[in-house]
Amino acid sequence: MNDWLHNLPIVWMTLLVFGLTAFVIAAVYVVVTVLSVGERARSFKAVSPGMLPPLAVLVALFIAFTAAQVWNDNDRAHSVVDREASALRTAVILAATFPGETEARLRSLIRSHIADEVAQEWPMMAHRSATLEVIPYSLAEALQLTLAVTPNSQGQQTAQREITTALENALDARRQRIIISQSEVNWVKWSCLCLQAVFALVAIAMVHSDNRLASVITLSLFGFGIAAALLLILAHDRPFTGQLSVKPDSLLQVMPALHQSARDHGPIALRSDAGSVQQIVKLFRGSKVADIAVNRRLSSS
């Protein structure tokens, strides 16, 4: 499926899916009605109504298996984003164990990492172009900084170990997030599901070919029921694309000041162009490190 389809607002996506379904229903009805004359009419009536339940069950199984994949991908996406946010929040809290320059530097690097994720990675994941080749500079530097610190007490040793573990968990969650962003229902599954639904519609039209009103009612009920299921799957097909995609809200909440700024300035337009990055500059205006990260992004564009 193309990006434009997944990025449609739900209202327009609904109109498109139900409109195409209505067209298919009308086409099936017209073709079967036109062919249902003479000998062919008797042949159509010879089609056993008993084949309709197995066809409906097959369509239901196709939908169930496809929906299970989509729900699993979305659950995993929410889980890894929350896990990354939790790990970063743990590192921020434990950074207070190293007061002074180390704490300020560690907090600034995490803030810069979040700014880069919102401004760069989220738009890339929406277009399924994010890869594991790019190393998160700020998070890697935060990990190096933590390992370079010399603890002065048992408490700092424990904190250093926990911060290192938290940053490693954040890196792992980021890797899983990018992998999940590549997932979608492939064209083979979409094709088989749609073909199976069309076969069921044809069978319904043939069984009711001698009663046009019953044929229209049955085709409409079955067809639009399929359309509702397809719309539900399509709207959640790509976890990080579209109106119902996974947002970086939990990551913004890692730093309370950033979360409050995001609430004051409204939602962020997740695009990878310079205008979106300038919006990130306004959002993270209170952080010099964030400004440096965004300027680095602008200079590389």
Residue 45's pLDDT is what? Answer: 83
Longest CA–CA separation in the chain, Å: 96
Residue 244's pLDDT is what? Answer: 92
Residue 14's pLDDT is what? Answer: 96
Q: What is the pTM of this model?
A: 0.78
Distances, alpha carbon 63 to alpha carbons 28, 68, 157, 185, 192, in Å: 21, 8, 53, 11, 10
Q: What is the mean pLDDT of each run of 10 residues along the chain (301 residues)?
A: 84 96 96 89 87 93 95 96 95 91 92 91 92 89 92 91 95 95 93 95 93 93 96 95 92 68 44 40 40 39 38
Residue 41's pLDDT is what? Answer: 86
Residue 266's pLDDT is what? Answer: 46
* The two structure tokens encoding residue 135: 């190393």
Please give the full DSSP string across the chain, using - where no structure is assigned. --HHHHTS-HHHHHHHHHHHHHHHHHHHHHHHHHH-SHHHHHHHHTS-GGGHHHHHHHHHHHHHHHHHHHHHHHHHHHHHHHHHHHHHHHHHHHGGGSTTHHHHHHHHHHHHHHHHIIIIIHHHHHTT---TTS--HHHHHHHHHHHH----SHHHHHHHHHHHHHHHHHHHHHHHHHHHHT----HHHHHHHHHHHHHHHHHHHHHTTT-HHHHHHHHHHHHHHHHHHHHHHHHTSSTTSSTTSPPTHHHHTTSHHHHHHHHHH------SSHHHHHHHHHHTTT-HHHHHHHHHHHHH-
Residue 26: CA count within 13 A, CB half-sphere: 6
Distance between CA 236 and CA 287 in Å, rounded?
Answer: 35
Residue 256's pLDDT is what? Answer: 61
* The two structure tokens encoding residue 122: 């989220």
The beta-carbon contacts of 38-47 under 8 Å, at least 24 apart in sequence, are 41/209, 41/210, 44/206, 44/207, 44/209, 45/207, 45/209, 45/210, 47/203, 47/206, 47/207
Q: Which amino acid is at 181?
A: S
Distance between CA 222 and CA 210 in Å, rounded?
Answer: 18
